[in-house]
Each structure stands twice: as C-alpha cells, then as structure tokens.
Structure 1
Amino acid sequence: MSYIEKAKEQLTDLVGKAVFSSSSGGGAQTVTISRPQAEVEPFWRDPEKLSQVLGDLAEVRSTGPRSYEWVLHSADEESITWDTTLETEEDGLRFVGATDSGDPAGAVEIRVTFRVGPRDLGTEVTLRVKSPVPDLLTGPATFKVLYRARALLQTGELPTLAHNPSARAAAH
C-alpha cells in the first residue's frame, strides 16, 4: 500500500468518525492545546475568558468564589440562565447546576478534563456538556468553543473574519 493510499484511508476513517460523532447528538469533544496544564486549567476558571470563547452563544459571570452564572443567548427566545458551582476533580473541572426554571430536566453539567497531550506536546482537553437545551452546546458548538479556546491560549487571539481589510478600493 502506498503512502497516499494509506493517508486516504486514514482520512476517510477520521471523517467517518467526525460525522458519526456529530450526528449522534453530543458526546465529548477533544482538542490538544500546545500549553502546559498549569496554563490551561486556570483559563477554564476565568469567566471573562469563557465569555470570549463562547462568543455570541453565551456569557459567563462570577457570582461567588466557586459560583458562575451562564446566560445563554438565543435569537428566537428569551435568554436562559444557568447557575453553576465549580467543582474541582482529579482530572479536571466540573460546572454543575440547574437553569433558572428549577426544572430537574434542566440540569446542567459542563465537564472539562485535562491530560498530558500526545508526546508531551501540550494538554489534551476534553469537553462534555449536558444542557437543558438539546444539542445547543453539543457537537459542533462544543468543538467551536474548544477550537476558540485553543486559539486564544496558543496565540492570544480569537479567529475571526471581522475587520479583515483587503486593501482593495471596492472592499470599502
């Protein structure tokens, strides 16, 4: 088998896994961030940084030493508010709480786990979300949050197309 055929086979397997995992309605998403865990973990405790990576999905506010308020923005409906408590676990962090409706079905859990990345090249971060709004912060949205967190931690900037000058007169 040639290298190109092997690469095609691996790429096909990877795409199949990605499509299957996003169509299954959630699950865990993982990225490797080229930073040590000592830098990555405090990032997930900072409500301002969390608000940055959530972008237009939600904002996070600290309401106490281990308490966070998550305000989920929706174009069609009123905002949903989650009050969570941050719990430290052996392998990561967990935000646990409920929505402002008090409905037990509205339980919220956001779990972030950390482990040493492949070949000691950073930190592998896994994000699992259980939200009262089906598929809102799962699948592609969860990956987007991780992608943006990785970009912010590695480069200090969030990827964006806003304010992208082209230097052409017609673009103004």
Structure 2
Amino acid sequence: MSVVDRAGHIVNDLVGSVLPAGARRHRPQTMTIARPRSEVERFWRDPESLSRVLGEFGEVRPNHPGGVEWVLDPDSEDPVVWRSDLVVESASIRFFGPGDDGSAPVTISFADAPGDLGTEVKIEFTGPVPEIMSRAMAFKALYRARALMQTGEIPTIRHNPSARESAR
C-alpha cells in the first residue's frame, strides 16, 4: 500500500463515514494573498515555509533535487511519509508521488488578483482524501500562509487563557 493510500485510509477512518463513497473530484479552495505573485510562488516552493504552514500537523523537507518529503503527524510512532516530486509550471506547482497517474495529488495555482490586490492562490487536492477534509486542509493552509506572508506570524490562541484546559 502506497503512502498516499495509507494516508487516505487514515483520513477516511476519521471522516469517511460522513461522506458518500464515489468520486474524488474535489473543488479547489481559493484565497487572495496581498503579496506579489513572484514572492507567493517562491513561498509555496520552499519546504521550510510549508512546514511553518503545517505547524504541529506535519513538516516538509527536501529529499532530493526537485522533490520534497511530507511527514504528517511527525511526533507519532508511525508518521505518514509521502515523498513527492515538485513540478513548477508557468502558473502553478504540482506535487505528485512515484506511481501517480499524472494527476497531482496537490496542485497550487497562482493568478494576479484583480485591482492589483496581490495574488490569488488556489489549492486542489485529488486522490484518496475526502472532499470535506481536503477543503478544510486547503483553507487552513491558505489562511495560515496568508497570515504568515502578510503579518510575519501565524495566529494562535495557544497562549491565550481561554485556550488553557480548565483544572478539574
């Protein structure tokens, strides 16, 4: 079983029961980032930036020229590792693993936002991830990336008293 299949099974175990079986054609998630397109494209190609966006859920590290390794749930005894190649195109980047059928499990597209408002970034997942999870993951990644690029930090309530566990 491939790593992508294994990750899909893990996600399906969590939320798959809510979704009907069938098509894996996912609608993309789009967000505008108020930064120049060249800067935004560079950000999404950088493994360190991607690791910051994933936060505690995973890390991304270079594993060979033109490729990265995604480690999901890195603190567990059995993290999910997906090795992917990065293909840079004129208006998008695609991450796909060995044996993929040519359709990339992760595609990130870039376009100039109307009115010189920055860059529209669109993320689309294909493959074994249920749409409800792929849209949520894409939104979170876009939200965190936008915050990091526009303010230099990712919002958190971790140090806020309301985020602390109550004493029992």
> TM-score, with normalisation over the residues of structure 2?
0.71
- Corresponding position of 1:71: 71
Aligned counterpart in structure 2 of residue 113 of structure 1, from 89, 109, 120: 109
Amino acid at match of 1:113: S
Candidates 109, 130, 137, aligned match of 1:134: 130
140-149 or 70-79: bigger deviation: 70-79
Query: How much has 1:133 moved relative to structure 2?
Result: 4.0
Residues matched between the structures, number: 141
CA positional deviation for 1:130: 2.1
Shift of the 59–76 alpha-carbon distance from structure 1 to 2, 3 Å rule, reads closer
Q: Measured at CA, do residues 94 and 156 of structure 1 come closer, stay the same or move farther in structure 2, by a change above 3 Å?
A: same
| Structure 1 segments unaligned to the other structure (5+ residues) | 1-22, 167-172
Residue pairs, 1:137-156, within 5 angstroms: 138-156=134-152
TM-score relative to the length of structure 1: 0.70
Deviates more, 1:89-98 or 1:154-163: 89-98
Distance 1:137 1:82, change over 3 A: farther
Secondary structure in 1 matching 2:65? coil
Q: Secondary structure at the match of 1:158?
A: coil
Runs of at least 5 residues in structure 2 that lack an aligned partner in the other structure: 1-18, 163-168
Q: Is the 8 A contact 2:94 2:104 kept in 1?
A: no
**C-alpha deviation, 1:61, in angstroms:** 0.8
Fraction of identical pairs, as percent:
47
2:159 to 156, 163, 169: 163
Residue in 1 that maps onto 2:32 = 32
Give the structure with higher Rg (CA).
1
More relative contact order in 1 or in 2 (CA 8 Å, sep 6+)? 2
